[in-house]
A and B are shown apart, each in its own frame.
Chain A
Amino acid sequence: MTEFRMPSLGADMEAGTLVEWMVKPGDRVKRGDVVAIVETQKGAIEVEIFETGEIEQILVDVGAKVPVGTPLAKIRDAPDAMAGLDVAPAKEALAASLAPPPAVAPAAPRLALPSISAGPMPPSVGRIRASPAARRLAQTQKLDLATITGSGPLGAIIAQDVEGSRAVAPLLEKKRAEPGLDLEAMRAAIAAAMTRSKREIPHYYLEHQVDVTPCEAWLAQTNATRPPDKRLLMGALAVKAVALAAHRFPTFNGFYREGKFELARGVHVGVAIAIRGGGLAAPAIRDADRISCDELMGRMRDLIQRMRSGRIRSSEIADSTITISSLGERGVEALYGIIYPPQVALVGVGKIVARPWIVDGAIAPRSIVTLTLSGDHRANDGHAGALFLAEIGKLLREPEKL
């Protein structure tokens, strides 16, 4: 028996609100499954489980806000769960063959007792069943009721359903309509983390200009035969190069906690993603040094999409071991970031600019990117930082090897 606890989804998180359980008692889970959605100042996070076993008991109800570390559910360990499974497969198979396909909506209309219902609700022909409170909440938060699953009487959407789905709604939509609470909370979280960083971390900054003409050429060649949604972008190469460099220079990859630096086991690169309206988050691409550029690109696309729709997994938020920040094509030539504690390094990637460059003794137009490093001087030094930046530059010179 183990306990699944409210995870810390960032150095600044003290408590989280449980907005949705994705599992129920009796469900079997394995490491990496998303079991709950937790609302933090950063928005809704899909929380993964690290155990394999069976959900024994749910300890915290939806809507409750509990401190980090609070047990949320009891997990029966895999061996126990397996013990009870001896006959299950056969039973399940039988059930599967007999059972009609499950209804799409688990909250299919339930019959209310005639003793109280003020009359049956009209059949929902082109009309969404939602309580007045749910409608009012959805209205103020600019949510579309059609995107919300109801759990109330006759399957109606009730206030709690709207509250639970708040985070599912596009954050930018909310911001566009009016200053949304989530963005304000996110802003507060950013303020807290950045203030802490600048108060505690002795930053130093380095800058290095890299010729990425080979990258551009290689990308053009690689993408020529690909459909748009399979194409690689410069950003993926940059993340891969940073990840590989961080693997080789481990003092940039880890956490400074309680007065000492801890090396991280894997390289999980946090990619800063701006959210229109003032939000910012840096979900992680796990093991970015070990996956192919194509897979990395796919994950970045997925992350950006889910970030915009507010669905990010716990491991992606909490696990970053180093952060990369890029202001993109519309950005500036160089940016000097603030380290996200307890990490110890942040790599800034400026926009690609065409510059006269000396190549083989002659001036030639080349595509240049300015890389910067913000380092935590408690964990690493400028000398190592220079080598680290140079390594990234070197890696970008041979994109085909990334």
Chain B
Amino acid sequence: MRKGQPDRLTTGLMQQIADRSEPVELSYREAVRAAIRDAMIRDERVFLMGEDVGRYGGCYAVSKGLQAEFGPERIRDAPLAESGFTGAGVGAAIAGMRPIVELMTVNFSLLALDQILNSAATLRHMSGNQFGVPLVIRMATGAGRQLAAQHSHSLEGWYAHIPGIKVLAPATLEDARGMLWTALQDPDPVLIFENIVLYNMMGKLAADAGPVEIAKAAVRHAGRDVSLITYGGSLWKTLEAASLLAAENIEAEVIDLRSLRPLDDATIIASVSKTRRAVIIDEGWRSGGISAEIYARIVEQAFWELDAPPGRVCSEETPIPYPRHLEQAAIPQASKIVAAAKSALGRGG
């Protein structure tokens, strides 16, 4: 393994994290990069592989500077062949490595779907538990950057359909920084979905931020009147909606699912049982989406606690449009969330 020179930004960041006890200001992108770098340093078996992750620094600049630090063997540029390099990642994981495969967006992950579903997710089962696939696949998801219909969809709900894998959706800097290492410790495949509008999000992160647990949902804002259940990029719109609702004396509880598979039923049901009302916010499409699964679980497990039919705010059932105003109209927004919450409270009219 060749030791390269880390880029100035990353070095400075890591230095800050190492030296200071006070929170550091950084972007979501930098938090993901810090997570990758930390994993590379901690475990020699870890390597990153994907399109443009090396010399170009990642199509969302997440891995910028990492090839210089860790060399082209551990920060590997892959050809435009998702099925091929994802399959290589599966093989490497079986062989004892801890690969991080980056797929440019969830849209292109469909080219690797055979490897993810038929290989990664099933090999422990097919081999009679002789070997597992400790593979982490990271990919970008979501709309909002005018990248048009082939780069903007939110298909993480599809992956949450598959037994044998875990599906994570870090929405905060802490989770962007902390979920990767925990995912790498998992003996089975873990998919991490990074919403593209979050990469530029700035925030403060504790200097000693590190791995986080990945099994539980988090209550990001406590309230008693309605549960707003969401994940990923929609979390921030939902929190904005919660503060708009607060101005109207409606106390919304905001749940960040963090993991779409497994779903943390206990946290969801406890919240809904308290508030008696739920609205699910999902940038995926409504029909057959993860929102439908959450909806079903609420009705299955908390029917007798409900005071209103659960509501949903999802993307419109159309390919995500390119023009900005249409793109924004197609995806969940705080105003739609506020309206849905008020409707659940009977204050819609």
Interface membership of B309, Cβ < 8 A: yes
Interface membership of A362, Cβ < 8 A: no
Our count of residue pairs bridging A and B at CB distance below 8 angstroms stands at 78
* Cross-chain contact B308 with A153 (CB below 8 angstroms): yes
Do A113 and B306 form a contact, CB below 8 Å, given A151-B346, A152-B346, A156-B346? no
* Cross-chain contact B279 with A133 (CB below 8 angstroms): no
* Cross-chain contact B310 with A118 (CB below 8 angstroms): yes
Q: Given the complex, which residues of A lie within 8 Å of B305, measured CB to CB?
A: 132-133, 136
Give the segment of B32-40, B97-105, B335-343 that binds chain A.
B335-343
Interface membership of B303, Cβ < 8 A: yes
Q: Which of A116, A118, A131 contacts B276 (CB 8 A)?
A: A131
Q: Given the complex, which residues of A lie within 8 Å of B309, measured CB to CB?
A: 117-118, 153
Which among A110, A112, A136, A160 has the highest number of chain B CB atoms within 10 Å? A112
* Cross-chain contact B312 with A154 (CB below 8 angstroms): no
- Distance of A165 Cα from B279 Cα, bound (Å): 27
Q: Which of A91-141 contact B (CB under 8 A)?
A: 110-113, 115-118, 131-136
Q: Given the complex, which residues of B lie within 8 Å of A115, measured CB to CB?
A: 311, 313, 336, 339-340, 343
Which among B309, B313, B347 has the highest number of chain A CB atoms within 10 Å? B309
- Distance of A159 Cα from B344 Cα, bound (Å): 13
- Distance of A117 Cα from B311 Cα, bound (Å): 6
* Cross-chain contact A111 with B349 (CB below 8 angstroms): yes
* Cross-chain contact B340 with A116 (CB below 8 angstroms): yes
Q: Which of A116, A136, A156 contacts B343 (CB 8 A)?
A: A116
Q: Which of B279, B308, B313, B349 contacts A158 (CB 8 A)?
A: B308
* Cross-chain contact B312 with A153 (CB below 8 angstroms): no
Interface 1/0s, chain B 78-119, versus A by CB < 8 A? 000000000000000000000000000000000000000000
Task: Give me the 5 closest cross-chain CB pairs, A-B, nearest first.
Answer: A116-B311, A116-B340, A110-B349, A158-B307, A153-B346
Q: Given the complex, which residues of B lie within 8 Å of A152, measured CB to CB?
A: 307-308, 345-346
* Cross-chain contact B312 with A116 (CB below 8 angstroms): yes
* Cross-chain contact B346 with A110 (CB below 8 angstroms): yes
Interface size class of B (residues with CB under 8 A): 20 to 34
Q: Given the complex, which residues of A lie within 8 Å of B349, measured CB to CB?
A: 110-112
Q: Which of B206-250 contact A (CB under 8 A)?
A: none
Give how many A residues have a beta carbon under 8 Å from the other chain's beta carbons.
Answer: 23
* Cross-chain contact A110 with B348 (CB below 8 angstroms): yes
Dominant SS at the A interface?
loop
Q: Given the complex, which residues of A lie within 8 Å of B276, measured CB to CB?
A: 131, 133, 158-159
**Chain B: minimal CB distance from A196 (Å):** 36
* Cross-chain contact A116 with B313 (CB below 8 angstroms): yes
Do A133 and B304 form a contact, CB below 8 Å, given A113-B340, A115-B340? yes
- Distance of A266 Cα from B342 Cα, bound (Å): 50
- For A160, give the chain B residue with the smallest CB separation: B307
- For A137, give the chain B residue with the smallest CB separation: B304
Q: Given the complex, which residues of B lie within 8 Å of A156, measured CB to CB?
A: 307-308, 346
**Chain B: minimal CB distance from A106 (Å):** 13
Q: Which of A118, A133, A154, A159 contacts B346 (CB 8 A)?
A: A154
- Distance of A113 Cα from B308 Cα, bound (Å): 13
**Chain B: minimal CB distance from A248 (Å):** 55
Give me 9 other A-B pairs in contact (C-beta within 8 A), A113-B339, A116-B344, A134-B307 excluded. Answer: A110-B346, A111-B349, A112-B348, A113-B340, A115-B311, A116-B348, A117-B309, A118-B311, A154-B346
**Chain A: minimal CB distance from B348 (Å):** 4
Do A132 and B304 form a contact, CB below 8 Å, given A112-B349, A116-B312? yes
Q: Which of A117, A133, A155, A160 contacts B306 (CB 8 A)?
A: A133
- Of the A-B pairs whose beta carbons lie under 8 Å apart in the complex, a sample of 11, sorted by A's number, is A110-B348, A113-B340, A113-B348, A115-B340, A131-B307, A132-B304, A133-B304, A133-B307, A152-B346, A153-B343, A156-B346
**Chain B: minimal CB distance from A131 (Å):** 4
